[in-house]
Amino acid sequence: MPKAKNRRRKKKAKPTAKTARQAGEIKPAMDPIKPSELPSEAKSKVLNQAVELAMQYQVAGQPDEAEGLYLKVLKADPAHSIALNMLAVVTHQKGFSDRAIELIDRALTVNPDDVEAHINLGLIYKSQGRLAKAASSFRHALAVNPDHPGGHFNLGRTLQELAKPEEAEGFYRQALALKPDYPEAHGSLGNIRLELGRPEQALESYRRVLELSADNADAYINMGNALKILGKSDQAEACYVKAISLNPDIAHAHNNLGVLLKDRGELDAAADCYRRCLALDGTLADAYFNFANTLHEQGDVDGAARQMDLALLNDPDRAGWHIRKILLTPAIPASPDDIQFRRRALEQAIVDLRAKTLSVVDPAKQICATNFYLSYHHLDNRKLVEAIAQLHMAACTDLAFNGVAPGPERPHRKKRIRLGVLSTYLRQHTIGKLLQGIIKHLSRDEFEVILFRLPGTQDDMAQAIDQTADKVVALHSIRAQDHKIIAAEALDILFYPDIGMSYYTYFMAFARLAPVQMVTWGHPDTTGIPNIDYFVSSALLEPDGSASHYTEKLLLLSQLPTYYYRPEPPQGTYRRRDYSLPEKASLYVCPQNLFKLHPMFDLIIGELLRRDPDGVLVLIDDGRGGHWNRLLMDRLKTSAPDADDRVIFVERMPTDKFLGLLLLADALLDVPTFSGGNSSLEAFALGAPIVTWPGNFMRARVTAGCYWQMGLNDLIASDAESYVSLALKLAHSADFKKTMQEKINQNSHKLFERIEVVRELERFFKQSVQDANLTGKWGGAEV
C-alpha cells in the first residue's frame, strides 16, 4: 500500500527568507563579498551595510523592506553581485522565478565564483522542476568550492528526484563528511537507504537526526516507515504517534499510521486516521487512495470507488490508480447477480483502459492489488485473468523483464539443479505449512534450494524453513533490484508456492527470472501470466477437462502436492462456554474465511437450519470490525431467512483453541465452491469429519481430494440434498459420527509427511529442466 511521501503539504503563504532557509529552499549568502568595481571605499562600505540590513529584513520576514533596499543599492551600483543575488531570492519568494533567474545570471556575470549564487540558482531551477539545470548549478558551486556541505546536500536531493539514488547517496555522504551535525543530510541519507531497500541502515540515519533534533516529527515518521518495512509494527506505530504528538497537524503522519493499522486489520482505526489526514490536507491524493483500499477491505466497494475518484482528481497522473479502481471487487458479494454484474463491469473496464495509453512505473506501489476475489466466484477465470495480465503488461512494459540469458550464454551448470522459491508467506501461514516439508526433504544431492526473503515478519516457522534451505537471499521489495538479485542466482527453476495473494509476488511473476517457472496451489487459480510455465496440482483435485482452466501447463501429481506435518492435538480441553456457544444446540461449524461463502451456499445453510430447528451455524469473525459479518447477515436475511437469528460468530483465536473448536463441532461444513485446505488437513489430523461437495474447479475439491487420498467417500456429497442430509446425519447420529471418526483416524496417515510426493516433484523438476534444455529455449529466447 503506497504511503504519502514524507513531505508536508503546506498552505500557500507569503514566503520569507527565514522560512525559506529553514525549509532548505533558498539559502541567502550570509558572508557578503566586497564588490570589485566601486568608485570609492566609503561608498562601497555604505552599500554593503545596506545589503546587510536588507538581509536582516529578509530574516525578520519583511521582504518588501529588503527588496526596497536592494533596489536602492543596485541603483547606485548595478553590478553589486550580492544585491543581485539576494534580490533574486526575494523575487523568487514572491513568485517571479524567471525574473529571479535573470538577476542571478547577472550576479554570476559579475562574480562567476559566487558559490551561494550558484546554489540559489540551482534551488530556483529545482523548484520549477528543471532538475537537470538544477544539478548543473550545484555542480558549478562544488567546482568553485568542493568543501561546501550545502552544495553536496542539494545536489544529492536533486539526483534523488532524478531517480539516481546511488549517486545521490554519495553526495549525502560527502555532505556529512564535511558537516557531521547536518540533520537534513542524515534524514535524506536515511530516505535513500530506505528507497534502496536497506531499512536497518535507514534507521541509523533517522536515529542520528533525532540525536541532533529531538523534536523532529519527520524523523519519527521516517523511522516508522523503516520499522514497518522490517515488520516491527508496534514500534512503527509508536513512532507515528510520537510524530503526531509533536505536530498534530502533520497530515502524512496520520496517513502513514492509517496504512499501518490497515495492514494489521484495524480497519476502523485506519479509516479514522485517513479522515483526520484529509481534514488537515484535502489535496493529499495518497490518503484518498489508502482510504479507498481500507473501505474496500471493509466491504464498501462503492465507497472505495468514490475515494479512488478523489485520489485521481488530486493526482490524475497516477495511471495505476485507474487499474486499481476497476479491480475493486466485493469480498462478500450481495448475490449471484451481483457477481455477474461486477464481472461484466470489469470486463468492459479492461477494454476501456486498453484503449487508453497508461504508463505505470511501479505497479506494486500504484496498483497494489491482485484479482484475488475473482477466484471465489465459482466461475472459470482464465479469460478474465489473462485480460487483466495483458492490461498490466501494456501499462508497464518492463514487467516482462527477461533476466535469463539464452542457453549457450548461461553459466556452466553445476551438478545440482538450482531451485529458487519465492513467496511472501513462507512463515506461520498456510503456505508455510504446505511447503516446509517439501523444502526440507528435496534431495540435496540433486537440488540446491535457494529461498528469497522479502522484508517483513519473521517467526519461528520462517526461521525453521530458512534453516532447511541451502541459501537464503534477502530481497528489498524494489522490483528492479529484486529482478537483478534473483537473476544473478542463475536458477534453473523458480518456484512460486502461491501467486495472487501478495500483489508484490504477483507482479514479480511477470518477469522471466529462470528458464523454468512454475506455481502451485497456494492460491488455487490460474495466474494468466505468460511467463509462468507450469501449474502443479494433483489428479485427486482436478476434474476432467480442467487443463482448459489454466494458462499454464497443468502438472498432475498422483497425490496432494504437499508434504504436510501432522498438527499436534490441542493442549487444552475446550468446552462450548469457552466460545460462548449454546450448550444444547447442534453446532454446524464452517471454519473458513467469510469471503469463501458464495451466495449459493446460503441456500444450503437455509435448508440445513430449516430442517434442524435446534441447529446453529458457527462462523469465524471477520477480524475487520464486523463489517463482513454484517454484509453476510444482510445477504442471509434475504437468501436464507431461517438463518437470520441462528448464526454465531466466534472471535478469531490461537491455533490451539481453533483446533478445539473443530473437535466441538457436531458437523464441520466445507464450502462447496471453495473448500478448506489447511483447515481440512488440521481437522482430519484430529479425526474430525467434514461434509463436502466437490465443485467444478480444483479450488472446490481439496477436502474431497483429502478423502480420496484416504480412500474414503462416505461424506462426499453429490448434490445439495445429499450435502444437507449428510450434515444432519453427522449432527444427530452418534454412531455414524463415531464410525466416520474411526475411519478418518485409521486412514489420516495417508495425508501427512508423504515423501513420495517430494520424490514425484523431484522427477518433474528434473524433467522440466531437461525439456527446456532440449527445446533450446531460455526465457522464451530460442537458441
Q: What is the pLDDT of residue 33?
A: 35
For position 73, what pLDDT does the model report? 87
Q: Say if CB 291 and CB 269 are below 8 A apart.
A: no
Reading the block at residue 571, the C-alpha cell is 493442549
- What integer is the mean pLDDT of 477-497? 95
pLDDT-based confidence at 154, cuts 50/70/90?
very high
Query: Could you give the CA distance from residue 746 to residue 741 in angstroms, rounded to a whole number?
Result: 9
Q: For the whole prediction, is pTM greater than 0.85? A: yes
Residues 506, 499 contacting (CB under 8 angstroms)? yes
- Cα distance between the two ends of the chain: 40
> How many Cβ atoms from other residues are within 10 Å of residue 763's Cβ?
10
% of the chain at pLDDT higher than 90: 82
Residue 12 scores a pLDDT above 50: no
Count of other CB atoms within 10 angstroms of residue 675: 27
Q: Strand 777-778 vs strand 690-691: parallel, antiparallel, or unpaired?
A: unpaired
Q: Under 8 Å CB-to-CB from 234, ≥6 apart: which residues?
A: none
Q: What is the 3-state secondary structure (H, E, C) of 208-244?
A: HHHHHCCCCHHHHHHHHHHHHHCCCHHHHHHHHHHHH
- What is the C-alpha separation between 154 and 487, in angstroms, rounded? 35
CB 534 within 8 A of CB 509: no
Residue 162 — pLDDT band, cuts 50, 70, 90? Answer: very high
* Type of residue numbered 84: L
Q: Give the pLDDT score at 777.
A: 61
Residues whose CB falls within 8 Å of the CB of residue 163, separated by 6 or more in sequence, listed in order: none
- C-alpha cell belonging to residue 184: 537534513
- What SS3 class is residue 13? coil
Query: What confidence tens digit (pLDDT) does each residue in 338-373 have?
Result: 999 999 999 999 999 999 999 999 999 999 999 999
Look at 509 and 478; give whichever has higher pLDDT: 509
Which candidate, 88, 84, 126, 103, places its Cα nearest to that of 138?
Answer: 126
pLDDT at 781 over 50: no
Instruction: Say what percent of the chain tops pLDDT 70.
Output: 93
8 Å CB contact between 378 and 525: no
Confirm if 294 and 262 have CB atoms less than 8 A apart.
Answer: yes
Question: Taking a C-beta distance cutoff of 8 angstroms, is the pair 230, 200 a contact?
Answer: yes
Q: Rounded to 5 degrees, what are φ and ψ at 399?
A: -55, -40
For the residues of 318-384, what is the DSSP string, one character each? -HHHHHHHHT---SS-S-HHHHHHHHHHHHHHHHHHHTS----S-HHHHT---SGGGGGS-S--HHH
Average pLDDT, the chain: 91
Please give the grid coordinates belonging to residue 352. 476501456
In DSSP terms, 417 is beta-bridged to 447
Q: What is the DSSP string of 68-117?
A: HHHHHHHHH-TT-HHHHHHHHHHHHHTT-HHHHHHHHHHHHHH-TT-HHH
From CA 114, how far away is CA 88, in angstroms rounded?
A: 14
* Band of residue 292 on the pLDDT scale cut at 50, 70, 90: very high
Average pLDDT over residues 744-752: 98
Residue pair 27/239 in contact (Cβ under 8 Å)? The answer is: no
How far apart CA 519 and CA 527 sit, in angstroms, is: 9
Q: At 486, is the pLDDT very low, low, confident or very high (cuts 50, 70, 90)?
A: very high
pLDDT tens, position by position, 380-415: 999 999 999 999 999 999 999 999 976 544 554 568
H-helix or E-strand spanning residue 647: strand 647-650
Contact 134, 122 (CB under 8 A): yes
Say yes or no to pLDDT of 584 above 70. Answer: yes
pLDDT tier at 708, thresholds 50, 70, 90: very high
Burial of 633 (0-12, 13-18, 19+ CB in 10 A): middle
> Is the confidence at residue 615, as pLDDT, over 70?
yes
- The answer to whether 263 and 456 have CB atoms below 8 angstroms apart is no
Q: What is the DSSP letter of 512?
A: B
Q: 81, 114 in Cβ contact below 8 A? A: yes
The amino acid at residue 404 is V
Q: Are 33 and 249 in contact, with CB atoms under 8 Å apart?
A: no
Residue 26 has pLDDT above 50, yes or no: no
Mean pLDDT of 484-509: 97
With b meaning 16 or more CB within 10 Å and e meaning fewer, what string describes 111-123?
beebbbbbbbbbb
Higher pLDDT, 443 or 56: 443
Helix (H, G, I), strand (E, B) or coil at 526: coil
593: nearest Cα among 504, 523, 666? 523
pLDDT above 50: residue 198: yes
Tell me what pLDDT residue 775 has: 73
Say whether pLDDT at 293 is over 90. Answer: yes
CA distances from 610 to 603, 615, 626, 717 (A): 10, 9, 25, 19
Residues linked to residue 777 through DSSP beta bridges, in sequence order: 782
Taking 60 as the threshold, does the pLDDT of residue 312 lie above it? yes
- 187, 222 Cβ separation under 8 angstroms: yes
The DSSP H or E segment spanning 1 is none
Distance of alpha carbon 425 from its chain centroid, rounded? Answer: 13
The SS3 of residue 618 is strand
- Note whether 476 and 193 are within 8 A (CB): no
Give the lowest-confidence range in 353-362, 451-460, 494-503: 451-460
Mean pLDDT computed over 299-310: 97
Q: Kind and range of the H or E element at 517?
A: strand 516-520
Lowest mean pLDDT among 33-37, 176-180, 261-265, 713-717: 33-37
Q: How confident is the model at residue 768 (pLDDT cuts 50, 70, 90)?
A: very high
Given pLDDT bands bounded at 50, 70 and 90, which one contains residue 19? very low
Pairing of strands 777-778, 647-650: unpaired
Residue 446: pLDDT band (50, 70, 90) is very high
Q: What is the band of 13 on the pLDDT scale with cuts at 50, 70, 90?
A: very low
CB-based contact 320:347 (threshold 8 Å): no
Tell me what pLDDT residue 643 has.
87
State the SS3 of 389-430.
HHHHHHHCHHHHCECCCCHHHCCCCCCCEEEEEECCCCCCCH
pLDDT above 90: residue 774: no
